[in-house]
Structure 1
Amino acid sequence: MNAFQPSRPPLEPVEQRQVVTPVVPRPKRHLRQLSHRVMALETTAKVAVNLVIGTAAISALGQLLPYHWSQQDKLREIRTEVKVMEGRVNNLRTEFSRNFDPHQAKGIMQEKSYRFEPNKRQVVLINQEDSPGE
């Protein structure tokens, strides 16, 4: 493996004859212009699509905002009605608890039926100016 190998003379490149072809200009400029056109068309298409999407979004908002406002008005009306009803319910609850309070039963019976206990006298106020005795 470590044996000496005969040295070879360095290889010199063989000169090859180049075939001279007629000079044809490469279409680099044409390709560059074409790529710019393609990029311009692509950008234009993207802008057009975004405009269409934006127009659709604005149109949808234009239709949804009046609906939203009407729903907010209805909600405000319902909240007002709820407050009124809560007041009414509270009044009815206090009246209900008063009506069923055993300590106030006699007083409530007198209010509702205009009847009095037998040991009490009914007092009727008469205006003296209208009394027939004078």
Structure 2
Amino acid sequence: MNAIQPSRPPLQPTQKPRVVPRPKRHLRQRSYQMMALEGTAKIAVNLVITAVAASALIKLLPEQSLQQEKLREISTEVKLMEGRVNTLRAEFSRNFDPHQAKSIRQEQGYRFDPNQRQIVLINQDGQEVESIESSP
């Protein structure tokens, strides 16, 4: 167990290969060139994007003005139609009002209540001026 082991030769320092230092100036100059190239590329890309956005805006502005004009025309037509609808709605409600049925029949049929007499106003010239219905 405790056998004698052969002795090892003493360790000699191994020679490391000599590292040749690079000139640091060259590395710095290259990194500055890469940064300048990167910055120039970013600026170029941003200019291209800006040009595309500007051309898109130039194309969209006339379309937007046409759409605004169409919107104004449609708004005007809507207001006119709302007025017409309100008039027709009022006429509809009047036509189907049972309290107004008698007066509507007289207007539409030119028939008068037998209790009413027609009064005709005549000028001295003999021309009819106005016809009025009155109750006796």
Whether TM-score is above 0.5 comes out as yes
Long gaps (5+) in structure 1: 1-13
1:33 is aligned with what amino acid? Q
Long gaps (5+) in structure 2: 1-11, 128-136
Q: Is 1:88 matched up with 2:75? A: no
TM-score, length-normalised on structure 2? 0.70
Structure holding more strand per residue = 2
TM-score, length-normalised on structure 1? 0.71
Runs of 4+ in 1 over 4 A off after TM superposition: 14-17
* Deviating more after overlay: 32-41 vs 114-123: 114-123
Q: Is 1:28 matched up with 2:14? A: no
* Whole-angstrom distance in 2 between the partners of 1:108 and 1:16: 126
Of structures 1 and 2, the one scoring higher in RCO (CA 8 A, sep 6+) is: 2
Cα deviation, 1:75-112, whole Å, max 9, x if unaligned, reads: 22212221221111111111111111111112112212
Counterpart position of 1:126: 122
* Whole-angstrom distance in 2 between the partners of 1:66 and 1:95: 44
Counterpart position of 1:43: 39
* Whole-angstrom distance in 2 between the partners of 1:92 and 1:48: 65
Q: Is 1:99 matched up with 2:95? A: yes
1:62 is aligned with what amino acid? I
The RMSD of aligned alpha carbons is 2.7
Determine what percentage of the aligned residue pairs are the same residue.
68
2:77 is aligned with what amino acid? E
